[in-house]
A = this chain, B = another copy of it.
Amino acid sequence: MDFSQTYQVLHSIENALKSYKRVAQQNIRTIDDTITVDQMSLLQQIKNNPNTPQSQLAAALLKDYAAITRMVDLLVKNKYIKRKGNEYDRRRNTLLLTDKGEKALKKLKSVLKTNHEIAMKNFSNYELDRLDKLLQRLIVNCS
């Protein structure tokens, strides 16, 4: 395990993520240029579990609480979601998609699928699994 090799791998991980995010964002922009890849993920998460605490949204999106608060602010400002008080626990928010949010999500789902197909072109299920397992080991090492 020499340094140049580990350097190379870490560099490739960063490169892979950034390359994917770049094309993903470009494709999304052709449909809706007021939303980002991450905002869309958040929108999806909120739709799937409208009453989840933001702390769990943060975990799902690999972000910290502060980041989620600000993304929620933006989505509210841009009218994709509404923030309501939770009647059982007044510390929490209940987040709900607006019509605009629902429509945006519907339109963008196919783009997201296309993005995945672009990134993973020519990968077999087996290779995807192998890649994921290798990454999981790295994640565990860093935990």
Oligomeric state, in copies: 2
Q: How far is the CA of A141 from the CA of B20 in the complex (A)?
A: 9
Q: Do A20 and B9 have beta carbons less than 8 Å apart?
A: no
For the residues of A in contact with B, the DSSP-based class is helix
A5 CB to closest chain B CB (Å) equals 5
Give the A interface residue count (CB, 8 A).
Answer: 48
Interface positions of A from 35 to 54, Cβ below 8 Å from B: none
Of chain B, the residue at the smallest CB distance from A22 is B142
Decide yes or no whether A15 CB sits under 8 A from chain B.
yes
Please tell me if the beta carbons of B139 and A15 are within 8 angstroms of each other in the complex: yes
Q: Which of B6, B16, B124 contacts A119 (CB 8 A)?
A: B6
